[in-house]
Amino acid sequence: MKGLLGKKIGMSQVFNAETGELSAVTVLELGPCMVVALKTSDRHGYDAVQLGFGEMAGEPTAVADKTEDKEAATADSADKKKNRRRSKRRPNRPQQGYFKAAGCSPRRYLRELRLVDEQDSQGLSVGSELTVGDIFKDVKMVNVSGVSKGKGFAGVIKRWNFSGGRATHGSSFHRAPGSIGQSASPSRVFPGVKMPGRLGGCKITARNLRVMEVDEAQNLMVVRGSVPGSVGELIVVCKAE
């Protein structure tokens, strides 16, 4: 195994008394992750392990019987909204059957990690639990993948760090992208031109982050630098090759 699921806790700083260096770090909560399924090349065409992370709220709320009294079947609007919000965090019937077959409690997130060789699959079995100490005990560098913060529609200055025009009297060119097309030949815009558009909200991988500390008791890892995503978002941490 070369990776684990977790979430971003927040950023902090670590001071090295020997060198006098102050480093910005990110605290990550990794695991414990449950092995929900194992994919093999003979049956599925590839080798991978499916990990589950995060507990669900519990069993889904029961639907009131039609024969019950109207007072018992109908609730206040506030209770209805509360149950509707809670039902999104509860497993449905297919999910209950899937996790029951795996012999584990329902998990909020499921992700597959590819297995490169036979050594990665050693010691893995459906229903077993993996912790940060099992995977990253003596690891020095890791890669962290997550979904970056979505910033909506952005112009070329914010999205691509364009300089913009002069802010002097008479100038009408300030934050515009400028000319993007060609003349009569080839009379088209080439693909890949940097233009305004959607910024953020995509998968980003921060590579070769130094592991500062691993707390096996609290399932925490401290890495140097920043990682993509908001606080509490799902991340995938793998060993740096």
What residue ranges define each of the domains in the chain, with the CATH number in brackets? 1-30+133-150+200-241 (2.40.30.10), 153-179+193-199 (no CATH)
pLDDT mean by block of 10 residues, the chain; 241 residues: 88 90 93 89 90 75 47 55 57 88 88 81 82 89 95 96 92 91 86 94 94 92 94 93 77
70-71-75-76 Cα dihedral, nearest 10 degrees: 120
Give residue 92's pLDDT. 87
Give residue 125's pLDDT. 85
Q: Which amino acid is at 217?
A: A
Query: Which H or E element spans position 145?
Result: strand 141-147
Bridge partners for 241 per DSSP: none
Give residue 90's pLDDT. 82
Phi, psi of 223 (to 5 degrees): -120, 150
Give residue 31's pLDDT. 83
Q: Which amino acid is at 139?
A: V
Please name which of 154, 111, 148, 143 lies closest in space to residue 221, comparing C-alpha atoms: 143
Record the pTM: 0.77
Other CB atoms closer than 10 Å to residue 142's CB: what's the count? Answer: 25
Q: Where are the alpha helices (DSSP H) in the chain?
A: 70-73, 77-87, 93-102, 132-135, 156-160
171-172-178-182 Cα dihedral, nearest 10 degrees: -100
Give residue 30's pLDDT. 92
Query: Are 6 and 215 contacting, i.e. CB atoms less than 8 angstroms apart?
Result: no
CA angle at 51 for the pair 46 and 52, rounded to the nearest 5°: 145
- Non-local (6+) Cβ contacts of 76 within 8 A are none
